[in-house]
Structure 1
Amino acid sequence: MSPLSVSKVRFFKKILLTIGLSSLLVNTGWAEETSDPWEGFNRPVFVFNSVLDHYTLKPIAEGYQWVTPTFVQHGVTNMLNNLGEAKNFGNNVLQLKFNDAGVDLARFGFNSTFGLLGFFDVGSKMGLQRSDQDFGQTLGYWGVPTGPYVVLPFLGPSTVRDATGKVPDYFMSVDNYINDDGVQYAIWGVDIVDTRVQLLPLDKMIVGDPYIFIRNAYLENREYKIKGYVEDDF
C-alpha cells in the first residue's frame, strides 16, 4: 500500500463530515462562489479519481459491509481512530491547545487498555471527546493562507496548504512506525475500506455537478474547522 493510499484515507475521513455540513448550503444556493484557478487541471483528475473509486474502492467497501457484522465494523473504526490520536495530540500541541492535547492522550491511554486496543471507545463514554486535527489545520491556525484549490491524483480534494500538511501528518501517524510490513499494510488497507464504508450512505447526497459540490463542501468544512476553532480559543 503506497503513501498515496494512506493520504486518500485522510481525505475520506474529512469529506465524510464535509458533505453533511455543506449539502444544505449547496442546495439552497448559500455557498459562496469559489475561486478555482486550476479547474482545467482539477476536473480531469477528479474524473480519474471517481472512475477509480467506482470500479475498485466502492465495490470492495460494499462487499466488506455485506459480510462484516455491524459491531465488528464499529470496533474496527474505533481502533483506527485510536491510532490517529497521536496525530491529533501532535497538532493540538502545535496549536497550543494543551487541554485538547491532554484529552487526546487520555483517550489513547483509556481506549488502548480498557477499550481493548481501542475496539471499544471508552474515552467517549467518559466524556473525553475525540478531536480531529491535522497539520493543514495547524498551518491555518497560525495564519498560513489556503492557496488555490487542487484535486490530487488518488488523494482527492485539497488546497496548497492542506497538501503541504500531509507530509508532517504522515510522520505523526503511529501506524507508519510498525515494524511488521504485513501488519502495517493490513492496517492501511482496512482503514481505506472502513472509511469508504462510512461514506456509502452519503453518496446519494451529492447533487448537481459532483465536482462543484465536493469542492464547495470540502472548502466549507475546512474553513469551519480552522476559523471555528481559532475563534473558540480567543
Structure 2
Amino acid sequence: MILFFIVTAAYSALLLFYRPSPSSLKDAPLTFLENFKQIKAALFSGLLFFSIFLFTSDFGFNEVNQQLYRLFALNNVSAAAILWPLQSVTHLFIHLNFPHVLTNVAGLGIAAVYERQVGSGRFLMVLLVAGLSSIPSILFYSEPIAICGISGGVFGLAAAYFTDQDGLSTKEWLYAVIICLVFLVLLSFGNSVESKANGQLQYKIDYYGHALGALGAIVYCRFKPRKLADKPWLENSD
C-alpha cells in the first residue's frame, strides 16, 4: 500500500506541476487548472491502472493474483473460449507485476504531450482504438499463452503523436504503415523474447500487440483526421 501511495502521488505531481512554457513571452503561464484540463485523461487513466493493479494484486502492489490473471488475461486456450469476449476487454486493464504497470503508466504520462495537442477526447479514443487493435496479436502464438496490459494502446499513442498531423501526406502515412508491417513480419520470423512458465500458460512481452496497436492508431488517425473541435480549448481562446 505504501508503494501505491508513493507512485500515485509522484505520478500526479509530475503531471500537475510540469507546465510547458508559453510559446511567447507575452503569453501568461498556464494556471494549474488550465494545465489539469490539458492532461486530465493521462492523469486519470494512469491512476485508474494503478488502482486496478492494487486490487488485482491483493493490495500487495507487487504481482497480480494468479487466479485473477487466468480469469481476466486474454488467452488462446480453446477450452476457455467462453471467456474470450470478457477477456478481450478486461486484459487491457490488468497488469502482471509492478514493473509492468509502472512502465505502461509512465508511457501514458509521457503521452500527455500528445493529449495537450489534441485534447482529452481524442487521446482516449486513440488509446481505446490502439488497445483493441492489439487484440489479434494472440493469433500469432501457437503455444498456450495469456496476454494482458495496455502497452498496445501506449504504443498507439506514441504512433499518433508523430502521425496525427493535419498536413501528413499520403506518402508519409504509407511509410508509417509499412514500418509497422515490416516490424510484424520481422517478429514473425524471430520472436526470441524471454518467457516464464505460469502453470499451463506462459506470459511474455507482446511485441506483436505493440506493433498492431501502433498500426491501428495510425490507420484511425488517417481515416478519422483531427478537427478543430478536437483541439484543446486553450488553442481556441483569444
When normalised by structure 2's length, the TM-score is 0.25
- Point out the structure with the larger helix share: 1
When normalised by structure 1's length, the TM-score is 0.25
Between structure 1 and structure 2, the one with the greater Rg is 2
Higher relative contact order by CA 8 Å / sep ≥ 6: 1 or 2? 1
